[in-house]
Amino acid sequence: MGRSQSSGSLVVNVGLTMLYGTLAVQTVIQWLYMNQVFCRGGSSRASTFVLWVTNSVPWITVVSGAMENLGYLIADGVIVWRCFHACGGKIIQFSLPMTFFVIEFGESKG
């Protein structure tokens, strides 16, 4: 077991830990928002639906969207890193996975 295998394992473990962290933050935010919608604002089905759709708390949308995009970046970054090493560290063989990564990131912003 050489140094490159242990550093590769470290990158994957750190990436997975960061993914679990973003998922935990997103879960807490959505749990708190659902509590507000269903317990405080839901006097009827119609009012619950209107409150859910209109999203009366704008920071929830911003933070949830940021956590979602951060999760995509971390997951795709780990995949791109693994593809780079699987291709032998050669840029020419690595260009296709990197192109897909850039296209996916551009589409998520548009």
Residues 6+ apart with CB under 8 A from 51: 37, 41, 42
Q: How confident is the model at residue 90 (pLDDT cuts 50, 70, 90)?
A: confident
The domain segmentation of the chain, as residue ranges, is 3-109
Structure confidence by residue, pLDDT tens digits, 22-81: 999 989 988 887 777 777 666 777 777 777 677 666 777 788 888 888 888 888 888 878
At 41, give phi and psi (nearest 5°). -110, 0
